[in-house]
Amino acid sequence: MTTTDWTAGRIAAAVRDGEISAREVVDAALARIERYDGDVGAFLHVEQSGARRAAATVDNLPAAQRRTLPLAGVPVAVKDNVVTRDMPTTAASRILEGFRAPFDATVVARLRQAGALIVGKTNLDEFAMGSSTEHSAFHPTRNPWDLTRVPGGSSGGSAAAVAARMVPLALGSDTGGSIRQPAAYCGVVGMKPTYGRVSRFGLIAFASSLDQIGPLARTVADARLLYRVIAGSDPCDSTALEGDAGEGLDEAVSLNGLRIGLPREYFGDGTDRRIRSVVAHALDRLESSGARLVEVSLPHTPYAISTYYLIAMAEASSNLSRYDGVRYGMRAGGRDLLDMYETTRAEGFGAEVKRRILLGTHALSAGYYDAYYLKAQKVRTLIRQDFDTAFLEVDVIATPTTPDLPFRLGERETDPLQMYLSDIFTVTSNLAGIPSLVVPVGVADGLPVGLQWMAPPLADGRLLAIAELCEKTVAIEPNWPLGGTMS
């Protein structure tokens, strides 16, 4: 067994104890990336020399100091919308080609301090706008389970890198499901923490009232390990919550009597019957282990997609106004300043990004603000209240993650609205700000299926504990076989 099959927890323990060197671990990870990433396309940039230098630093530390590192020698991949000082950051957009951030994101700085080895930057839909990682300006990423299918998105590169065992851990970002949907499609664990639990200093902003950074891993324990390193307040991000982010992280939870809410709006005929069947099987197992399944209602769910896209596009149009060809990234020619702005943005942004900027600009423009953005913010209140009411009756909510199994590359490119509608089960957690986590619970026709868990705000620790019980009860192996030649 090589270290690429190990969990992050096992690698860190072995490096701390001096059983193996960080150098051996990083060499194995880089070799696996070299071998398989030509097929998968998970990475936009592989940082061999930086990762090896970081490994040498860990190996050369006095043993007593190395023993304090929670991620000693653990290879980690970082989604390419999180800035890194010594590597390029593009957000998978032409407009940021060649950009090198002058600082590390807070999450990246915390990874380095924890002894992690950052092996590279992973692919995404441009500016995290998409659900398939086909909307990268550079290349699509393929699902390691079936290379003809998408890995989901927008954190598709991170999910694919973890699933293909190139790295045990990766960072993603989740605005409407961008960690959880690819986690489900690639058969890994993905967590969107409570809004504000993880600093966003250095995350390239998409929709600021929704964005959150979170972990992708092959086990819940590994997701917790990464979450513990990155969570917590940050003087550089005034939206990062104060208080102890580690509180409740070691909470013990029992399935016995645990009230699991099943929202009836998430269990309709619109979901692929193969997904419904895998999810039902997992819920049966939990029930026979003592959990109580309780039907609840989140009645404003049918309005969630409209609400989400209006808010996300409006905020995106504002956040992306900074890409003007003046301060960073590419500049196209132009007769004058205005022409330079317009040409740079027309040539630098892809079709999906332009579509969202246009819709968002319209939604915020004079005469339309009340009808669109303000209206959506009000419906957002109703969606939040649905969750508040449901959590009076249940401890946690479980749902399918996606209505469909991973689709084939190119299959949905022509119909953006269809792509938006497939986010129905994930956008509500972002709108309500609550923590949410996906655990793989089975396979249908050779493709993975993930169960989504949602908990009340700030119950991140409890959510992880429940997800870990689910993982044990439904008994999914962390190294279950991948499709194709990657087994």
Partner 1 sequence: MIMSLSDDDVRYVARLARLKMGNDELPTICQTLNRVLEYVSQLEALDTAAIKPTMHVIPVSAPMRDDRVRASLPPQEALRNGPRVAAQMFFVPQIMDGEGGQPT
Of residues 402-421, which lie at the interface with partner 1 (CB under 8 A)? 416-417, 420
CA–CA dist 119, 33 (Å, integer): 9
Tell the smallest beta-carbon distance from residue 144 to partner 1 (Å): 32
Complex with partner 1: residue 43 or 420, whichever CB lies closer: 420
Closest CA to 127 of 277, 412, 329: 329
Per CB under 8 A, the segment of 42-50, 263-271, 334-342, 394-402 that binds partner 1 is 334-342
DSSP H helical ranges for 167-296: 180-186, 220-230, 273-288
Instruction: Verify binding: residue 195, partner 1, rule CB under 8 A.
Output: yes
SS3 259: strand
Instruction: Verify binding: residue 127, partner 1, rule CB under 8 A.
Output: no
Stretch (H or E) spanning 442 = strand 436-444
Tell the smallest beta-carbon distance from residue 382 to partner 1 (Å): 6
Contact 265, 299 (CB under 8 A): yes
375 in active site: no
Query: Of the candidates 340, 413, 444, 479, which one interacts with partner 1 according to CB under 8 A?
Result: 340
Tell the smallest beta-carbon distance from residue 343 to partner 1 (Å): 5
Contacts to partner 1 from residues 383-402, by CB under 8 A: 384
Contact 399, 162 (CB under 8 A): no
Tell the smallest beta-carbon distance from residue 47 to partner 1 (Å): 19
Between the CA of residue 363 and those of 100, 210, 307, what are the distances in Å? 32, 17, 12
Distance of CA 49 to the CA centre of its chain: 26
Complex with partner 1: residue 239 or 487, whichever CB lies closer: 239
Stretch (H or E) spanning 447 = strand 447-454
297 in active site: no
Complex with partner 1: residue 3 or 212, whichever CB lies closer: 212
Tell the smallest beta-carbon distance from residue 366 to partner 1 (Å): 10
Tell the smallest beta-carbon distance from residue 459 to partner 1 (Å): 12
Query: Of the candidates 23, 61, 354, 480, which one interacts with partner 1 according to CB under 8 A?
Result: 354
Instruction: Verify binding: residue 227, partner 1, rule CB under 8 A.
Output: no
Query: Of the candidates 18, 270, 302, 446, which one interacts with partner 1 according to CB under 8 A?
Result: 302
Instruction: Verify binding: residue 341, partner 1, rule CB under 8 A.
Output: yes
CA–CA dist 450, 442 (Å, integer): 7
Instruction: Verify binding: residue 103, partner 1, rule CB under 8 A.
Output: yes
Complex with partner 1: residue 197 or 218, whichever CB lies closer: 197
Complex with partner 1: residue 321 or 487, whichever CB lies closer: 321
Cis amide leading into 154 (omega within 30): yes
Tracing tokens 């029930």 back to the chain, one arrives at 287
Stretch (H or E) spanning 27 = helix 22-40
Per CB under 8 A, the segment of 5-13, 99-107, 147-155, 271-279 that binds partner 1 is 99-107
Marked catalytic residue, from 131, 154, 155, 422: 154
Strands (E), 114-178: 117-122, 169-174
Contacts to partner 1 from residues 9-38, by CB under 8 A: none
Distance of CA 122 to the CA centre of its chain: 11
Contact 394, 294 (CB under 8 A): yes
Instruction: Verify binding: residue 94, partner 1, rule CB under 8 A.
Output: no
121 in active site: no
Instruction: Verify binding: residue 326, partner 1, rule CB under 8 A.
Output: yes
Complex with partner 1: residue 148 or 306, whichever CB lies closer: 306
Give me the phi and psi of 308, to 5 degrees please: -60, -50
Query: Of the candidates 378, 410, 446, 487, which one interacts with partner 1 according to CB under 8 A?
Result: 378
Between the CA of residue 16 and those of 56, 64, 76, 446, what are the distances in Å? 14, 9, 17, 37
SS3 413: coil
Tell the smallest beta-carbon distance from residue 85 to partner 1 (Å): 10
CA–CA dist 174, 178 (Å, integer): 4
Instruction: Verify binding: residue 252, partner 1, rule CB under 8 A.
Output: no
User: Which residue numbers are catalytic?
Assistant: 79, 154, 178
